[in-house]
Structure 1
């Protein structure tokens, strides 16, 4: 039997729209041509003096909708029998007749959206008398939602409505109709059992992944709705590919949520706390939402599977086959899953497989994970895949043979930091002025600029800035120490929990126990432990602690309830709130136990990098110097770069050791490749800037690598360094400079870099402030518009006479492309999506159009 939940969508727009139009009077003289909103009841065609459709015709329209839906199911696939189909028709006809009764005005109805408008129509229509079963009720609801979508779309197209310039809702509904047609093409026939389960599973995904834990609210953590908390980040190509992409200024960076729009398989790297897991949640919820106006047509009709590697990889166990995906991640509805459902979804090419955290499994299991991925991709082609990892956990092009393209999650831009800080303070109920004060500190203090690079660190800075009334730690170790004090000691006291439920552990005891758990996880290459393992570790520590005879179960319960750092993601499993806290606490115990040899032995392991650096921060001066000597003695670029990063963590370093590290680092500067440039900048920081040469005496490639290195450093000192290269004649140097302004303070970069470039290469804009900054320069010739846009903003803020090249990364709007005639010098337009000959014909004479799908001038381009 066919999927009942999809039948409404399977009736094409061309079939539904004419039926819906018959419910309303023709738009013309005498049809409410007024300049104010009108009630929908005044527009229906089956009431009043001007009726062109009888009440019986409404019944026939409902019958036709049901007939076409069942015909779309195919022979022998009808989800309801003849008698129940008649009952669905009767219920639908009575509901559509409500159009003549409701007092909702047209603009109010559009504002409700199709699902809420459908509920408005259902009000006052009892369904019990119709005796609908589960399949009949689902069919009724889907057909009513589909009809409501087309009713609202029809309302926005009436002259009276358009005259009132309700263009936002018009575009939204047009995207809904387009999305519905995409859904029609993508959804296969399904049994009622599959369809019902898929809907329950989608509800689970929305509930499970629809919130984010934001650090620091109420001196602890709080769940934020995903749609409020999600911050769009950038995903860039690896450095070499990015440099090649700079040649046309389009392909170096995309919004992270769009990484699967251009290709089916992506391997995404990002540092701890950079937002990888948040992106996975956002993609999962968006795919499961059954909403079609978000503009991400590649996610419509898809089924997401969130597969955290830390959860599905078990010692001695095989990785799960598709039928076991839900059980492997502890999905509570796994037991209801129809046999073969996952395989049927993947065979229909509807899956979005989100494999999170390759770095979070032991190194010896990663080869098995790659074989598992290869076999799944080959067995089920055509699905969407996103695999995430920390940057150096696996070699470059680790999944290239399996068809995965690589992207890197970029650090937060200054605009991103500002957006996050302002949202955090609104959610916390703090004064806006407090957030603005923090932003001023971050922008003017190099140490804070270096810390505010990802959502986790920004959340910690926000919490501590408010908690300490403006005083902020100036290094990473101090930041974590302050966060621990807030979570472990002050949290209960300041919330007036003087007599908390259960055992109350002193701060020092909590830290000592959490350190033992963290260091055990690190040494065993684990991110989760069984509850029994944790109890054994705690039990072993209790004899040395003065806890008045408390047992390990009491202590475990206290750590889970009160610390805010330890949690139980699944029954019988324990982990830390975030990997970063685990690394910090583990490093403390490693130094206490003098495990420096073990730390250095793991210098080549990406999962240990933060542990090693934080150990340098915890160590006493002689111990830190010993670690730095050992790291440089490794004789590898990685060891040298770790030592260079360690200089910023050590409180005191003997001059001879510092000189040794700087000399070894100088041998890597300038970097030989763009790939190495990112590592050198990230670990060396401002120290690298003093070692970079030029611009005199550098060939074009070396100069481009030097500029790329400084861009990756990303501090105010780096911006000052870049001013030396703004007149460099090298093409790549100029393109990188033009494309990097989002990494710095926008206005200052525009003033000190962009204004001095000899040629205007493509510049990316994503906000109105970006457009205003370019306008303040007198305009710009080549502009790439990232994300959604409003036509009136582009025509108002772009200087018409200067614009020659325009790239629009979002689909073209409902209004078409005729508005581009406002730019007389425009000769090239690049558009996202598939070629659209109709849109191309609207272009002004002399403008050539290219499309993302072909990367070459489209046959539909228009020449005057």
Structure 2
């Protein structure tokens, strides 16, 4: 029987829930997952002193009939008789010996049949149409009743997972159809919805049009510590990451993220910590809410951005549509019209932005994926962007739901320069006393990054680039080298030196030096690590501080937990308070660094090893190795190699051991040799996807790879895929041994890796030696364009960065160019190509808009 008379859960649940006793009044036996309970004991209208009388049940039945008849032109005269029959049918629940488990196992249709059969002839006075309406409405009421039972009794879902899943799916389908049945002419929003959507759009802009540029902490606590997204947003780059493909040619260009997203309804975006995933989500939300999207994203115009940070609901599970705003604690959650989110999804007007799958514990990602897949199948016409760290989820994690995979590309030199310039421009708005020297700091940093490999390797994402800018300013141009050293210097800057050096001595009554500040922050970070949390509510944070204060003598007499917390919040720049009074660190990487230091301090090595195969613990373990003393370091690394895990978990732990070697300060030779010995054979990747995955291990891989002269062209290509992702001078030396091979696939990979290394050095060692036959040479920035011209130009050139026609006219060699590949939309007519007399072919990436003004005689390929 099809429940063709439908009620959206937003209106049905408040009524149906009154049919059951409150959870606290239900039998204690329900807490036992092995028992069942008679539904007669759970309903609110039976027993000695029922909470709901028969008259109350009749009133609820009348309300259900009235709501359901809205979309069914049911004559008013028939509604009261239907309500009487419905109340008699529901009343019988209290007399049957059906248990809750049996009812869920039956499902809504069969359970409705059982109720009807228990009151034979109850509908004899109804007309045929009214009887039909009653039967279908009864199925819908039973559906909502069973769903309510499952939601309040997790044991039911545990005992009958398939039935529970099916009932949840039916609820979603029912909601979609119920909303469609109530849509107005043309499916346009109601006046109430339209009014709320205008206020919601304003709130999205207000909430997300701010961005913190890391490391600019202001001495005045009343001064804002963030800047307009409009003024500081850097257009990020992305590339398609089709892990299933065995071949990797340069036909998948690096594009700006907005162009890369163009034409895709569903995207899984990967990016390392600090790469700008959340900033991109903010930009999409604000631009959509403002109706200020670029032409490439025209398909998003008019959509409603729904931002869903996973950390907000990681433990509770993916929320139902009508709980979206409540789950993320949106300030307008209580003002949304009933069923608004479900209507937006049903009308296919939503832009879903699910940010940070890696913020959920690994055990919760499977259920999150299942819920997201179910949502996208039911509300199939909505756009969806999901973000995650690269190793947080497996390749093709959502491929069966039509999600394409993108990866945020490292910032190129032009983007790094743009970020550094924007950072120093924003710094002019703070209350520092060195504004007259900001241009000097900027220019010195711009000159230093190309010269120093360590800085070049670190300044490839907004987080680390911002941290480098802050430290450069703080140290008047003297920068530390290496990841751990950068964070140590940041802690010194933020926790010890900044306030005294800026004479901010009396911002509050608390006087704490770096050590106690850091120790308290480490306690908070470690608790969040062990509980696998991305945030703590205020009571939990204060509880942790209260527990820690007696062990830190310097905090004595400084105030209670509230005063200490406010001091840490306002004076360190490392914490952020949300509107709902929860707290989080300004970035997950900062939390990981501090938690790792505390883990080493507490000797929690068994805890680290127990979670070493989980992606969200990788950075913690790397930093723990960096903090650990030699014996502790050996214990951690040998623990990573210990037997007990199998398959992917074992491989991940072993590769993590290899990756940790670059962070080791001192390690006994025996352990070092053992790691190299046990991971050597893992570093002969059999697929391109595996080859890409080795890049995160770092420079230590180079010591274990096979002699390039002994491998086939196919394996040489896979090795090149790995090595071009290791930003180290030694990588160039290894790649130079592959440069003379004829394989076009290999040569294309070597050319594609240019952007990951020092331009001139790579051009001299690799680019200048590649056989140009059939090979397009990619150019991503002005430095590469100049280097290619210095080599005399090439016949085939691929443009994968933003240039103006004048820059290309100056940079390309006119007499050389015969084939030009545009993988980046220049946004102008192509008349200027007439300056290249030998140009025969213009290749345009199909993801880009159609080109115009191409000179006659030039063939266009796409």
**Are 2:584 and 1:555 aligned?**
no
> C-alpha separation between the residues in 2 aligned to 1:824 and 1:651?
58
Q: Does 1:654 align with 2:672?
A: no
Contact residue 694 and residue 703 of structure 1 kept, 8 A: no
Quick one: structure 1 residues 431 and 506, their matched pair in 2 at CA, closer, same or farther if it must change by over 3 Å? closer
Q: 1:602 aligns with which of 596, 611, 620?
A: 611
Q: Does 1:612 align with 2:624?
A: no
Offset at residue 275 of structure 1 (A): 1.3
Distance 2:642 2:523 in 1: 30
Deviation, 1:270, is: 1.7
Deviation at 1:786, TM superposition (A): 3.6
Residue 406 (structure 1) aligns with:
405
Partner in structure 2 of residue 418 of structure 1: 417
Residues 1:219 and 1:500: Cα distance change in structure 2 (over 3 Å): closer
Distance (Å, rounded) in 1 between the aligned partners of 2:251 and 2:309: 32
**Residues 805-848 of structure 1: CA distance to partner in whole angstroms, max 9, x if unpaired?**
33334557464x454444443333333568999x67x5444433
Which residue is equivalent to 2:713?
Answer: 700
Distance 1:850 1:380, change over 3 A: farther
C-alpha distance in 2, partners of 1:675/1:731? 19
How far, CA to CA, are the matches of 2:297 and 2:604 in structure 1?
Answer: 50
Q: Equivalent residues in 2 for 1:564-583 (5 A)?
A: 564-583=573-592
Report the CA distance between 1:725 and its aligned residue: 1.9
Residue 790 of structure 2 is aligned to residue 776 of structure 1: yes
1:665 to 657, 679, 682: 679
Superposed, which structure 2 residues align to 1:249-648 within 5 Å?
249-291=250-292, 293=294, 295-313=296-314, 315=315, 317-428=316-427, 429=435, 430-546=437-553, 547-549=555-557, 550-634=559-643, 636-648=650-662
Aligned partners of 1:270 and 1:408 also within 8 Å = yes
Counterpart position of 2:57: none
Secondary structure (helix, strand or coil) at the match of 1:535 reads: helix
TM-score (norm 2): 0.71
The structural deviation recorded for 1:621 is 0.9
2 CA distance for matches of 1:219 and 1:556?
Answer: 18
Whole-Å separation in 2 of the counterparts to 1:826 and 1:577: 51
- The separation in 1 between residues aligned to 2:593 and 2:660, in whole angstroms, is 14
Instruction: Report which stretch shifted further, 606-615 or 752-761.
Output: 752-761
- What's 1:847 paired with? 858
Conserved 8 A contact 1:239-1:674: no
The answer as to 2:803 corresponding to 1:802 is no
Contact 2:261–2:297 (Cα < 8 Å) also in 1: no
Partner of 2:153: none
8 A contact 2:244–2:396 mirrored in 1:
no
For 1:829 and 1:358, how far apart are their aligned partners in 2? 40
Return closer, same or farther for 1:360/1:813 CA change in 2, 3 Å cut-off: closer
Name the residue aligned to 1:235.
238
Q: What is the CA-CA distance between 1:407 and the residue it aligns to?
A: 2.2
- For the residue of structure 1 that corresponds to 2:839, the secondary structure is coil
Contact 2:824 2:848 in 1 (8 A): no
Q: Which residue of 2 aligns with 1:99?
A: none
Secondary structure of 1:682 counterpart = helix
- Helix, strand or coil for the counterpart of 1:352? strand
**Aligned length, in residue pairs:** 657
Unaligned runs of 5+ in 1: 1-186, 852-864
In structure 2, C-alpha distance between the alignment counterparts of 1:281 and 1:849, rounded to whole Å: 37
Distance in 2 between residues matched to 1:281 and 1:263, nearest whole Å: 18
After superposition, the C-alpha distances for 1:339-390 in whole angstroms (9 at most, x for unaligned) are 4443343334332211011111122321221122112211222222111111
- Paired with 2:786 and 2:634, the residues of 1 have a C-alpha distance of 50
Q: What SS does the corresponding residue of 1:713 show, helix, strand or coil?
A: coil
826 and 331 in structure 1: CA distance in 2 versus 1, 3 angstrom threshold: same
Residues 242 and 783 of structure 1, relative CA distance in 2, 3 Å threshold:
farther
Superposed CA deviations along residues 307-333 of structure 1, whole A, max 9, x for unmatched, are 1001133x4x45322333233222223
Distance 1:790 1:480, change over 3 A: closer
Q: Is the 8 A contact 2:789 2:812 kept in 1?
A: yes
Contact 2:577 2:583 in 1 (8 A): yes
8 Å contact from structure 2 (residues 569, 575) kept in 1: yes
> Counterparts of 1:812 and 1:196 in 2: how far apart (Å)?
39
The superposition leaves residues 659-693 of structure 1 with CA deviations (integer Å, 9 ceiling, x where unpaired) of 1122223222333333333343322x222223333
Alignment check: 8 A CA contact 2:823 2:848 kept: no
**Structure 2 residue 762 is the aligned partner of structure 1 residue 759:** no
1:446 to 1:661, Cα distance in 2 relative to 1, 3 A: farther
Matches within 5 A, 1:119-138: none
Give CA-to-partner distance per residue, 1:526-583, whole Å, 9 cap, x none: 1111211222222222222333343222222222222221221232311111111111
- Kindly indicate whether the alpha-carbon contact (under 8 Å) linking 1:286 and 1:299 is maintained by their aligned counterparts in 2: no
Q: Separation in 2 of the partners of 1:572 and 1:642?
A: 36
> Could you report, residue by residue, the CA deviation over 1:701-755 in whole angstroms, capped at 9, with x for unpaired residues?
1111121222110222222332222211112110112222222233433343222
Counterpart in the other structure of 2:729: 716
In 2: Cα distance, 1:600 partner to 1:835 partner: 47
Checking the alignment, whether the CA contact within 8 Å between 2:626 and 2:664 is kept in structure 1 is yes
Residue 691 of structure 2 is aligned to residue 677 of structure 1: yes
Closer, same or farther: CA 674–252 of 1 in aligned 2, 3 Å: farther
2:747 is the alignment partner of 1:734: yes
Structure 2 residue matching 1:696: 3-state secondary structure: helix
CA–CA distance in structure 1, aligned partners of residues 305 and 368 of structure 2? 19
Q: CA RMSD in A?
A: 2.8
For 1:477 and 1:749, how far apart are their aligned partners in 2? Answer: 27
Q: Distance in 2 between matches of 1:495 and 1:808?
A: 50
Per-residue CA deviations over 1:224-256 (Å, capped at 9, x if unaligned) read: 32233223333234475576341xx32153323
| Local SS of the residue matching 2:762 | helix
What is the alpha-carbon distance in structure 1 between the residues aligned to residue 694 and residue 494 of structure 2?
Answer: 34
Q: 2 CA distance for matches of 1:242 and 1:225?
A: 40
Q: Deviations over 1:54-102 (max 9, x none)?
A: xxxxxxxxxxxxxxxxxxxxxxxxxxxxxxxxxxxxxxxxxxxxxxxxx
1:53-64 aligned at under 5 Å gives the runs: none
Residue 73 (structure 1) aligns with: none
**Cα gap change, 1:363/1:814 in structure 2, threshold over 3 Å: closer, same or farther?**
closer
1:648 is paired with a residue whose SS is: helix
